[in-house]
Amino acid sequence: MSTDLLYTEVEEDLRAAVRRVLRDRCEVSSVLARCESDEPYDLALWRTLAGELGVAALAVPEELGGGGAGVRELAVVAEELGRSVAPVPFLGTVLATAALTAAGAAEPIAEIGAGTLVTTLAVGLATRPSARIEPAVRVDGATLTGTATAVVDLEVADRVLVPATGPDGTGLYLVDTAVTGVSRTPVTPLDLTRRFGTLELTGAQARLVAADAEPVLRRALLTAAGVLAAEQVGLAQHSLDSTVEYVRTRYQFGRQIGSFQAVKHRLADLWSGVSTARATSRNAADSLSDADAEAELAVALAQAYCSDLAVLAVEESLQLHGGIGMTWEHPIHLYLGRAKSAQLTFGTAEHHRARIAELVDLPSA
């Protein structure tokens, strides 16, 4: 069966359901207000998305307590969340559920699926899927000590999956963030809608989830990077749509600015870029669903294309909005922060190109 790059009817239904909830509950002006509050994440919205629409454990097999769909469906959800820069612990959940699925660990998944217990993975957000993970956390019996940086969704996480090294190598452990010996320090993020922080463990009680963390982490990072590409596509599509809308209604020199060829051609190029990004993103999602041997190449390609394209889309959007785009009150900066941070997340486009060079045998000089 060759790669299906389209959307199925089921996927379109899922998209419509997610979009409805986000339209009602995640107006971008409310996202802006929330980002400045003490509770930058909307956990009530998250519980709705997880509990009612099942997005949290969507791609987890049913026998492990998940939704039994695939990464293709998960990617459609990501597109919608990207369009809305929704402040929900989605990426940490994707990492955690993909890791638990790869480890075959059913028990922690049920609560993730319900949206009641947020779980994340203590691997730095900028880590590349192909990187060798050398955690700065040591395991001693059943307790962990050490530090993990750039842990996504850490502030709202009830549990963290932590890779830790001991005499038997690197394993993956589940830590409850409420136990003693766990301290969390948030970092002020460039992306106000996606938070991360530093996790410090000093003799914190932990439970082994996977004895060999390496393949589990690899799969989790690969899946999350593929899903992130879909989020980037959704974000880019939103930037394009909102900019097209703006240039049709904004008049200068007695004309709609969208009637100037200089503006039209930039948006035509951006539309072409978004179309191309969508094809690479669908390809990645499909490869991940099939556990395709080509998944690693497909994800590297999607990241190498979509992460830069999403940044370009918001930067073009900002420029074409003129002065209003530079203001705090206009939400473009939320999208810019999200796109620029996502470009660095799981490695930059250059990192992914370097991985492609290895995978398709195009060696450096």
If one asks whether residue 279 binds another protein (CB under 8 A), the answer comes out as yes
Both tokens of residue 249? 């209604």
User: Contact 228/81 with Cβ under 8 angstroms?
Assistant: no
Which stretch of DSSP H or E encloses residue 160? strand 159-166
If one asks whether residue 127 binds another protein (CB under 8 A), the answer comes out as no
If one asks whether residue 356 binds another protein (CB under 8 A), the answer comes out as yes
The only residue of 37, 180, 249, 364 in contact with another protein, by rule CB under 8 A: 364
Both tokens of residue 152? 């996504």
| CA-wise closest residue to 58 among 234, 230, 283, 232 | 230
User: Contact 141/131 with Cβ under 8 angstroms?
Assistant: no
Residue (271 or 340) nearer to another protein, CB = 271
Q: How far is the CB of 49 from another protein (least distance, A)?
A: 28
| CA-wise closest residue to 305 among 281, 282, 289 | 281
Interface size with another protein, residues (CB under 8 A): 43
Rounded to whole angstroms, the Cα distance separating 238 from 28 reads 12
Rounded to whole angstroms, the Cα distance separating 117 from 176 reads 10
Which distant-in-sequence residues (6+ apart) come within 8 Å of 99 by Cβ? 121, 161, 172, 209, 210, 216, 217, 219, 220
Residue (43 or 356) nearer to another protein, CB = 356
SS3 (DSSP) at 28 = helix
- For 1-24, letters b (16+ CB in 10 Å) and e give eeeeeebeeebeebbebbbebbee
If one asks whether residue 282 binds another protein (CB under 8 A), the answer comes out as yes
Q: How far is the CB of 271 from another protein (least distance, A)?
A: 6
Binding string, residues 231-270; x marks residues near another protein by CB under 8 A: -------------x--xx------xx-xx-x-xxx-xxx-
Residue (113 or 273) nearer to another protein, CB = 273
Q: Which stretch binds another protein (CB under 8 A): 107-115, 167-175, 189-197, 346-354?
A: 346-354
Q: How far is the CB of 8 from another protein (least distance, A)?
A: 11
Determine the distance from the C-alpha atom of residue 196 to the mean position of all C-alpha atoms in its chain, rounded to a whole number: 12
Rounded to whole angstroms, the Cα distance separating 146 from 137 reads 4
Residue (21 or 257) nearer to another protein, CB = 257
The only residue of 36, 63, 329, 361 in contact with another protein, by rule CB under 8 A: 361
Residues 305-324 that bind another protein (CB under 8 A): 305
Rounded to whole angstroms, the Cα distance separating 50 from 96 reads 14
Residue (173 or 346) nearer to another protein, CB = 346
Q: How far is the CB of 283 from another protein (least distance, A)?
A: 5
- For 142-160, letters b (16+ CB in 10 Å) and e give ebbbbbbbbbbbbbbbebb
Q: Which stretch binds another protein (CB under 8 A): 41-49, 64-72, 298-306, 311-319?
A: 298-306
If one asks whether residue 359 binds another protein (CB under 8 A), the answer comes out as no
User: Contact 73/11 with Cβ under 8 angstroms?
Assistant: yes
Residue (79 or 111) nearer to another protein, CB = 79
If one asks whether residue 3 binds another protein (CB under 8 A), the answer comes out as yes
If one asks whether residue 38 binds another protein (CB under 8 A), the answer comes out as no
Q: How far is the CB of 29 from another protein (least distance, A)?
A: 25
Q: How far is the CB of 94 from another protein (least distance, A)?
A: 23
If one asks whether residue 198 binds another protein (CB under 8 A), the answer comes out as no
If one asks whether residue 148 binds another protein (CB under 8 A), the answer comes out as no
**Given the rule CB under 8 A, which residues bind another protein?**
3-6, 244, 247-248, 255-256, 258-259, 261, 263-265, 267-269, 271-272, 275-280, 282-283, 301, 304-305, 349-350, 353-354, 356-357, 360-365
